Amino acid sequence: MVSLLENHLTIEQCNNRMMKYIFIVLLTLFIFPISIFASTPNNKFGISLAQPNTDQFVEVKNLVNSNGGDWGYVTLIIEEKDRNREKWQGIFDQLRKLHLIPIIRLATSAEGENWRRPEKKDALGWADFLDSLNWVIKNRYIVLFNEPNHGSEWGGEVSAKNYGEVATEFAKKLKEKNKDFFVMLAGLDASAPSAMPGMEDEEKFLEKMFSVGNDLRVVPVGHDGPTLQQYIDGLASHSYPNPGFSGSPYSVGRISIRTYEWEIALLKELGVTKELPVFITETGWKRGGEGTVADYFQTAYDQIWGPDSRVVAITPFVLDYQGEPFLDFSWKTPSAKASEGQGNFYQQYYTVAAMSKIKGEPEQIEKGFINFRLPTDLVVKSTYHFKVRLNNLGQAIWERNDGYQLNRSESVKSVESVQFLFENLKNIIPFEEKDVYFTLKTNENLGNKKIKFILQKNGKNILESENWDINILPLPSLKFETSIFPFRSGRGEDFEIQVFDVDNQLVYKKKNITVTKGVGEVANIQNIALDELYRVVLLKPYHLPRQEFVVFKKDDNKIKFKSLFPFDFNNDGTFNFKDITSLFHQN
C-alpha cells in the first residue's frame, strides 16, 4: 500500500542525487534505447483496487477500456488467508469477460500494526495455489509483496537481505510451476528515509539486496542455479509525485511520477543487466484542488507515461477507499457526496475515461478440440445442416466479436464441389463444450475431399480438427410399396414422401407422386447422406400417415409401408374425435 510519508531528503541530498541520476539515465538511454521495449499493441491504462470487489469491475472496465481501449489492467491483492480457488477463479473469469488483465500483489496477514514477514517455506503453497487458477492471459503478473523498505510491511523490521532471499525462493517456485509467471519485486517507497530498523532508503535497500555477498546480482563461483535477477521479469514501481503527493507531473527523479527512470538507472548501476519493462502499480496525487488532479493525470498520460514504451501498465492508487489513511487518494466519491449530485467519481475518473486508448492484444493460451461425427458419403446438388463440437480448454473466450470464427480447409485443392456457411461463434468460455452448426451445399461435381475444420482468430489458425473424408456421389432413388385398408392396392397421383434425419429435421419432401398397383418411386432424392438412418413418412390426403426407417444406399433403396387407413376425415394427420364430428359438417 502507498506510504503517506513526506519526502525526507534534504535539498543538498536531492541535488547530489539528481546529478547522479541524470548521468545514469543518459548512459542507460544511450546503451539501451527505448525502442527495445516496443511490443504488441498494449493498453497501458489501469487502476488499483484496495479489495477485490467484483461489483467494481464494470467501473474499472468503463475507466480503462473506454474510448477505443481494450484489455486494460487492474492491480489486485491476494492475502494468504484469502487463497480460495473457487473465489479467485470466479474473479479471473469475470476479468476475462470484461477484458481486464490482473496484476496480482501477494500479501501475508496483519499482525498488530505490521504485516507478517513471509518465509521461504511459504513459497510452495503460494505457487501451488496460483498455478491452480486458469489465468486471464498468458502472462501471469505477480508482485512479490509491498514496500519491504518499510519495517511495518516486513514483520516490523527492514531486512533487504532477507527480502531478497525470500523473493528469490518465491520467484523460483513460481517459475518451476509455470514459465508464464511474470514475476516482479515489490514496489518500494522512494521517499523513505534511512531510519533502521523501521525504514530504509530505497537506494540503500537495493544496494544491500543486490550486493555480491547476497548471491543475488551475479552468479558466484560454485553457484549452481539462477540468481534473483534471472527470475525477475519486470519492474513494479511506486512512482509517486512527492513531496506530499502533490508534485508537478513535469518533475523528474526519484520522488516524481518518473521514479521508475531513476530505479532503472540504479538497477543498471547495481549490475542488473535485464531490460525490465515497467509496471507502475501505484501512483497518484493526493486530492487538493480537484481540477488539478485531473489535469495532472491528463498531462502524465499524454506526455510522460504514454510516450514511454518502457512503461507497460499504470494502475493508480486507488479506485475506491472511503476512510483514512487513503481517503484523499480515492477516485470514487463517498456515497453522501454522490447523493448530493457530485457524481459517483471525482473528475480524474471522467478525464481519464475520456482519453483515447489503444485496443490491447495480449497473448492468450489457446487449447481445445474440434470434434465431430459426420457422414462421409454425401450426394450432389444437396444442402446439409451439420454440427461440430468445440471444446475450449484455454484462456480466451471464443466469440465472433473478438475475431474468432470457424472455417475449413482442404488438403488437396480440386474442382469446387462444396460450399460451407458456419454460424457465428458465441461466448464459448474456457472449459465449456458447445455445438457449432454449419450449412454445406454440394453442386453437380462428383469426387472425394479431405476437409479439416479450423478455429481462427483474426484469420490466424488456432486449432484444427482431424480430417473429414467425404465422397460426393450421385443422387439415389427410392421405391416403395403401399396398400389401402382393408385390401386394396395403393394407387393415385396424390401421394407424398417426407424424409427426416435423426434429429427429426425435415430434409426432403416430394408431393404428387404417382402410385400404380401399390408401387411408387421417388428419383433423385437430395439432402441425404448414404449409410445414415432416416425416417421416411408416406402421406395421402384423408388417410392416416405411415412411416418406416431406412438407411439409404447408393442403389436399390426399397421400403414397404403398412396399409394406409382412410380415417383422417378432417385431413389433420391424426384420428380423433374431430374426425367424427367433421363427418356431420360436410356438405
Tens-of-pLDDT digits for all 587 residues of the chain?
A: 544 444 444 445 545 555 554 444 444 444 444 443 445 899 999 999 999 999 999 999 999 999 999 999 999 999 999 999 999 999 999 999 999 999 999 999 999 999 999 999 999 999 999 999 999 999 999 999 999 999 999 999 999 999 999 999 999 999 999 999 999 999 999 999 999 999 999 999 999 998 755 555 444 444 455 678 889 999 999 999 999 999 999 999 999 999 999 999 999 999 898 899 999 999 999 987 667 999 999 999 999 999 999 999 999 999 999 999 999 999 999 975 665 566 799 999 999 999 999 999 999 999 999 999 999 999 999 999 999 999 999 999 999 999 999 999 876 555 577 899 999 999 999 999 999 999 999 999 999 999 999 999 999 999 999 999 999 999 999 999 999 988 788 899 999 999 999 999 999 999 999 999 999 999 999 999 999 999 999 999 989 999 999 999 998 899 999 999 998 777 666 656 554 555 555 54
Provide the whole-model pTM: 0.86
Contact predicate 130/140, CB 8 Å: yes
Alpha-helical segments (H) within 427-574: none
Among 400, 359, 401, CA closest to 66? 359
Cβ neighbors of 54 (< 8 A, separation 6 or more) are 90, 91, 94
pLDDT (0 to 100) of residue 33: 41
pLDDT (0 to 100) of residue 263: 98
Q: What angle do CA 87, 89, 94 make, to 5 degrees?
A: 95
* Distance from the Cα of residue 197 to its chain's centroid: 44
HSE at residue 36, side-chain half, CA atoms within 13 A, is: 11
| Interstrand relation of 235-238 and 278-282 (parallel, antiparallel or unpaired) | parallel
Cβ neighbors of 419 (< 8 A, separation 6 or more) are 440, 441, 443
Among 17, 578, 538, 504, CA closest to 254? 17
| Interstrand relation of 100-107 and 72-79 (parallel, antiparallel or unpaired) | parallel
Contact predicate 150/189, CB 8 Å: yes
Contact predicate 154/112, CB 8 Å: no
Cell representation of residue 120: 521461504
pLDDT (0 to 100) of residue 11: 46
Structural domains of the chain, ranges and CATH numbers in brackets: 46-354 (3.20.20.80), 368-473 (2.60.40.10), 478-583 (2.60.40.1120)
pLDDT (0 to 100) of residue 227: 79
Cβ neighbors of 514 (< 8 A, separation 6 or more) are 492, 493, 495, 520
pLDDT (0 to 100) of residue 142: 98
378: burial class by Cβ within 10 Å (0-12, 13-18, 19+)? buried
Amino acid making up residue 161: K
How many Å apart are CA 158 and CA 538, to the nearest integer? 89
